[in-house]
Copies of this chain bind each other. A is one copy, B any other.
Amino acid sequence: MERRGTSRKRDEAAFLAEYDASRYPRPSLTVDVALIQVEQGRIRSLVRKRGGHPELGKWGLPGGFVRPDESLDEAAARVLREKTGWMRVFLEQLYTFGRVDRDPRTRVVTVAYYALVDAGRLIKAEDSAMQTEWAELVVPWDGERGGTVDCRSADGHRLPLAFDHAEILGMAVRRLRGKLPYAPIGFELLPRRFTLRALQDIHEAILGHTVNKDAFRRRLLASGLISATGVRETGVGHRPAELYRFARGDRETKS
């Protein structure tokens, strides 16, 4: 038994030494990150104007090639770090896009990720060298049906998206709509302390429709996901709301 096991090991080592990865054609593999924030009832995503071919002048998501020594999650985190400087951001794999002609250069398959940040992070990304915008996403479909989304700049201009990035962003919105009702992801889009109204606004922006205020409050307070801080918002011109914080995970460390 021992001998057989050892010999099998040797066989495998020999096999691996001879293995030639170039025997099969390999597509290029990239990651793209749909970086999402919600502000004033609008979903926004970070897009950058392409300065080179192909799709010159169109707007694209931050992305890059997957390196041999990093996993897909690591590649996505690296891309996000390189383009924004941010770390410890909520980041999750979304979907892999592999249409044959999605990139005119060569066969490129991209593993799309989505990331969520609060609107307070608005400023930092804008003073990058590259022309970068938090573009508003206009979603022309209901519910979780899916499809592409339109991209608008702050002044209402339509920003044409490169490659299949309109599809990727559509998938991101679809995923958010699907997860929001039962997963604690809305908190990622808010600062550490927030009012229930702010959280409801996030939900409404993502879902694309209003939600019942009473039921929303009741459900959330009963969920145990949030806890009151005892502090209230200030300077709002009406009765100030209690500030809550997300009561799960290690988000205490955030700031």
Q: Complex Cα distance A42/B100, Å?
A: 38
Is A66 part of the contact surface with B, judged by Cβ < 8 Å?
yes
Smallest distance from the beta carbon of A97 to chain B beta carbons, Å? 8
Interface of A (DSSP majority class)? loop
Q: CB distance A15 to B109 under 8 Å?
A: no
Q: Which residues of B contact A11 (CB under 8 A)?
A: 53, 56
Q: CB distance B16 to A100 under 8 Å?
A: no
Which single member of B15, B27, B56, B95 contacts A26 (CB below 8 Å)? B27
Q: Tell me whether A12 and B109 are in contact in the complex, defined as CB-CB below 8 angstroms, given that A26-B28, A29-B27 are known contacts.
A: no
* Residues in chain A within 8 A of chain B (CB atoms): 8, 11-12, 15-16, 19, 21, 24-29, 52-54, 56, 65-73, 75, 93, 95-100, 104-107, 109, 111
Q: Which residues of B contact A68 (CB under 8 A)?
A: 25, 27, 100, 107
Q: CB distance B26 to A105 under 8 Å?
A: no
Which single member of B15, B53, B95 contacts A15 (CB below 8 Å)? B53
Smallest distance from the beta carbon of A134 to chain B beta carbons, Å? 27
Q: Tell me whether A105 and B54 are in contact in the complex, defined as CB-CB below 8 angstroms, given that A96-B96, A111-B96 are known contacts.
A: no
